[in-house]
A and B are shown apart, each in its own frame.
Chain A
Amino acid sequence: DIQMTQSPSSLSASVGDRVTITCRASQGISNYLAWYQQKPGKVPKLLIYAASTLQSGVPSRFSGSGSGTDFTLTISSLQPEDVATYYCQKYNSAPFTFGPGTKVDIK
């Protein structure tokens, strides 16, 4: 099975900073990569699919890129409401494995 890894596992940044999270698949998954945001005590929310397509309603400060095995999620200007854990997921075929998550908070 394909394994998903993320780095860093956590980060602390200032409001307005550019934040980048990396996700890596152990084998190529083309662009079948999604990013989810889970705020504390809340349900996961789909942010990005097909590696770079923003889900409807997601602020444009979020962007995704990558293909194959290496992917990134970028928040162009970190806002207080972006405090959350971010997960990547492969969804081309089962098992639909999630990455271990990256916890983002405000410095």
Chain B
Amino acid sequence: EVQLVESGGGLVKPGGSLRLSCAASGFTFSSYSMNWVRQAPGKGLEWVSSISSSSSYIYYADSVKGRFTISRDNAKNSLYLQMNSLRAEDTAVYYCARKNGGNPFDYWGQGTLVTVSS
């Protein structure tokens, strides 16, 4: 069974940093590109970042470019999102999601809540 479990969310002050993790199991993690998607309270889905299976290709939404860094450790079946210079508007539930080759996001984690507030 495919499982994605996020962790690392919490309350952080504006300007602070946080590192999210996503532990994957039930599939060959190193064969899939992975993504972070966020959802602010009461709002829609926003794609944040994508990383290819071997980390060769990395993409970011303009809203986080220069502040967030996506990475992965295929030996540990883990995906990460380093978030720096956090702003109130980064407050959201952050989901990790698997992209199935040329197909869209077929599995999602339960999400981890990040709250940026003083």
Residues of chain A whose beta carbon lies under 8 Å from any beta carbon of chain B: 1, 34, 36, 38, 43-46, 49-50, 55, 85, 87, 89, 91, 94-101
Contacts and interface: CB of A to CB of B under 8 A. Distances in A.
Contact of A97 (B47, B95, B106, B111): B47
Interface in B93-109: 95, 99, 103-106, 108-109
A95 B44 contact: no
The dominant DSSP class at the B interface is strand
Given A43-B95, A94-B59, A96-B35, A87 B45 contact: yes
Contact of B105 (A46, A94, A101): A46
A43 B38 CA distance: 11
B77 to A, nearest CB: 20
A90 to B, nearest CB: 9
Nearest to B59: A94
Size class of B's contact patch? 20 to 34
Nearest to B50: A94
B106 A96 contact: no
A104 B116 CA distance: 30
B106 A46 contact: yes
A100 B44 contact: yes
B110 interface: yes
